[in-house]
Amino acid sequence: MEKKKSTDKLKSYFKRCSKETPPFFKKLRLAGLIIAAVGTTVLAAPVALPVLAVTVAGYLATAGAVITAVSQAAISTDPDCEEEEK
- How far apart, in whole angstroms, are the C-alpha atoms of residue 31 and residue 5? 33
| Nearest alpha-carbon partner for 21 in 60, 78, 63 | 78
Answer whether residue 2 shows pLDDT above 90: no
The structure's pTM equals 0.70
Confidence of residue 14 (pLDDT cuts 50, 70, 90): confident
16 close to 75: Cβ distance less than 8 angstroms: yes
CB atoms within 10 A of CB 32: 21
pLDDT in tens, 21-60: 888 999 999 999 999 999 999 999 999 999 999 999 999 9
